[in-house]
Chain A
Amino acid sequence: MLEIKNLHASIAGKEILKGLNLTIHEGEVHAIMGPNGAGKSTLSNVLTGHPAYTITEGEVIFRGKNLLEMSPEVRAREGMFLSFQYPVEIPGVSMVNFMRTAVNEKRQYEGKTPLSASDFLKLMREKKALVGMDNRLTKRSVNEGFSGGEKKRNEIFQMAMLEPCLSILDETDSGLDIDALRIVAEGVNTLKTPHTASIVITHYQRLLDYIVPDFVHVLADGKIVRTGGKELALELEKSGYAFLNS
């Protein structure tokens, strides 16, 4: 589904990704761990098309197409979703209006007819129940006044609404207590199908107890330096990243 070949990317003239390679197939969950500054957030920004980053070398193929040529909204419509580490607040734009616009843009891209107002509200109710989203939060402006945990829950709710094939969870567990983390993980697991894939970027092993990865990669100094199964996460938790210096 996703093939990253020799990706080099920089921001403000500083190279962060230095030849990253990664292949992801349908149905797989890939965890990405690594020390701070290694390039984990850069990777999610580059994949989603954040304008601050420049690709200097390499290619990325998403569902058989050249990802790097697509604008951020086209990448999203093709089925890529990012659960942001710091979701932004958008006062004055209601959750309902925002989601209806997003869902219908995706449907239009896929050649489907837009949802009527009542069908859309039905979809919202269904997805709210699916991920345990509080009713009051969807009546407000996007993320306005939401706590950290509520913002993360809102990301998963939006994921449920948009049904992406590739979800990138950027430090979804940061700022969450164990209960909130469990609920978010449950939401992610409920949305999983044999045709979806996930990239879970995390510092801590505990999220991976709930969202069990098929592969664990260590991203260090702009490259993937080690890959293993889920046991690798436990090993890293025990021994840290000291092995990188040897």
Chain B
Amino acid sequence: MLNHIELHTGETREIIIYNESNVDWHIVQEKGSVLRLHVLCLSQSNTADEQWKTSIVVEQNGKGCRTELYGMGLLHGMQQAHIHTKVMHNVGGGYSSQLFKFVLDDQAKGSFRGELKIMPDAQQTEAYQTNRNILLSRQADMLTEPQLEIYADDVKASHGATTGQLDDSALFYMQQRCIDRETATKLLLCAFFDDVIKTIADNQLQETIIEEINQIL
């Protein structure tokens, strides 16, 4: 299924994509519009059918647009989440940021392919992309593919991707403060997703997601 959306001049829109499978989005932004989009993949149920695939393509067609893409995946059992993003700066003066975080346990699999394309006319663009992943088990698998194509020369762009385990020294510090390893792990994982969750405008939804994270953990 393809969702085609246009953000008109100066329009601000927030889009929440919560546990949707096989949904593609193509969003076109006109001058001065602001897009804030969250992809959330988390579910307590454990069936192998839990596979989320999303593709999000955003085109900045007008000057001075702002695009903020956030995503989180908390996967366990045999769940899978595959996220593809493509942000295209066709015109200049725009800002985009992508922040995607995954935590995978058991045999879960995930992938993040983050495309960023800054066209030759898109001078004075600022574009950032960050993907952070934590693997909690040896069989969990995460594929991360940042893909940047920058054709303009007056731009600020950066990308970063890291995949690792929880910070052992932070875990030990918390254990030394009476907190058992399991509870400490929950605290650290909630902290990990903090900056993705806190950017959701709807406080009610924020609380629901935090509650859901705690339940899964």
Contacts and interface: CB of A to CB of B under 8 A. Distances in A.
Given A73-B178, A76-B178, A87 B173 contact: yes
Contact of B174 (A91, A92, A98): A98
Contacts of A50: 172
B191 A92 contact: yes
Given A88-B173, A98-B187, A73 B192 contact: no
Nearest to B167: A88
Nearest to A105: B178
B175 A84 contact: no
B173 A90 contact: yes
A98 to B, nearest CB: 7
A72 B184 CA distance: 12
A152 interface: no
Contacts of B188: 90, 92-93
A48 interface: yes
B179 A93 contact: no
Nearest to A50: B172
Interface string A95-116: 0011001110110010000000
A93 to B, nearest CB: 5
A71 interface: yes
Nearest to B187: A93
Given A73-B180, A101-B187, A92 B194 contact: yes
Interface residues of A, number: 29
Contacts of B194: 92
B177 interface: yes
A162 interface: yes
B207 to A, nearest CB: 15
Given A90-B191, A91-B191, A97-B187, A73 B173 contact: no
Interface centre among A48, A49, A73, A106 (most CB of B within 10 A): A73
Contacts of B9: none
A51 interface: yes
Interface of A: 48-51, 71-73, 76-77, 81-82, 84, 87-88, 90-93, 97-98, 101-103, 105-106, 109, 141, 158, 162
21 contacts: A48-B176, A49-B175, A72-B176, A73-B175, A73-B176, A73-B180, A81-B176, A82-B176, A90-B170, A90-B173, A90-B188, A90-B191, A92-B191, A92-B192, A93-B187, A101-B183, A102-B179, A103-B178, A109-B178, A141-B191, A162-B177
